[in-house]
Amino acid sequence: MVLRASPFPNGFVAGIHAIGWALIVPCFWYLDRVIAVCKSTTKEIRERQETECYLHPLKVFFGSIFFFIFFLLTAPLAFLGFLLWAPLQACRRPFSYHRVEPTSAERETNRGFEQTGKATFTFASANLCLLPDSLARFNNLGHTQQRAYEIGKRIAESVVRPNVIITVESPSSCGPVSPSDSIIPRACSDTDGGLEGPSQPTGDHRSDPTESSASSDDAEEALTEPSSSQLNYNENSNKQGQSDRKSPAVLFSQRTRQQDEEPWEVSPFFPANIDILCLEEVFDKRAAKKLSNALKPLFGHILHDVGVYACQPPCRCSAFKFFNSGLFMASRFPVLEAQYHWFPNSRGEDALAAKGLLSTKVLIGQNQKQKKVVGYFNCTHLHAPEGEGKIRCDQLDMVTRWIGEFQAAHKQPDEEVVFDVLCGDFNFDNCSPDDVLEQNHSLFEEYRDPCRAEAGKEKPWVIGTLLEQPSLYEEDVNSPEMLQRTLVTEEVRKQYISPPVPKQGVPLVYPEPGQPWIGRRIDYILYRETSISKLCRTELEEVTFISQLAGLTDHIPVGLKLKVSLNSDYDDE
Instruction: Give the residue from 543, 552, 561 showing the smallest Cα distance to 483.
Output: 552
Say which residues have a Cβ less than 8 Å from residue 411's Cβ, sequence separation at least 6: 417
Cα–Cα distances (Å) from 488 to 217, 266, 305, 312, in that order, read: 33, 7, 36, 45
- The tally of CA atoms less than 13 A away on the side-chain side of residue 340 is 26
Q: In whole angstroms, what is the distance from residue 157 CA to residue 411 CA?
A: 36
CB 344 within 8 A of CB 397: no
How many helices and strands (H and E) does the chain possess? Answer: 13, 19
DSSP code of residue 177: E
Q: What is the C-alpha separation between 417 and 422, in angstroms, rounded?
A: 15
Residue 310, SS3 per DSSP: strand
Nearest Cα residue to 177 out of 214, 232, 225: 232
The DSSP result for 519-532, as a single string, is ----EEEEE-STTS
Catalytic residue among 205, 381, 410, 555: 555
Burial class (CB within 10 angstroms; exposed 0-12, middle 13-18, buried 19+) of 321? buried
Is residue 63 packed enough to be buried (19+ CB in 10 Å), middle (13-18) or exposed (0-12)?
A: middle
> Cβ(192)–Cβ(222) under 8 Å?
no
What is the 3-class SS of 4-45, one letter each residue? Answer: CCCCCCCHHHHHHHHHHHHHHHHHHHHHHHHHHCCCCCHHHH
Is residue 213 within 8 A of residue 165, CB to CB? The reply is yes
Whole-number Cα distances in Å, 31 to 23, 39, 69, 255, 289? 14, 13, 10, 54, 21
- Give the residues across from 124 on adjacent strands: 277, 559
Q: CA-to-CA distance for 398 and 452, rounded, in angstroms? A: 22
Length of the chain equals 573
**Sign of dihedral through CA atoms 161, 166, 170, 173?**
positive
Annotated catalytic, 555? yes
Peptide bond before residue 450 is cis, with ω within 30 degrees of 0 = no
What's the CA gap between 557 and 279, in Å, rounded?
9
Task: Spell 472-496 as b/e; 16+ CB within 10 A means b.
Answer: bbbebbebbbbbbbbbbeeeebbeb
Q: Which helix (H) or strand (E) covers residue 410, if one does? A: helix 389-410
Catalytic center residues: 555
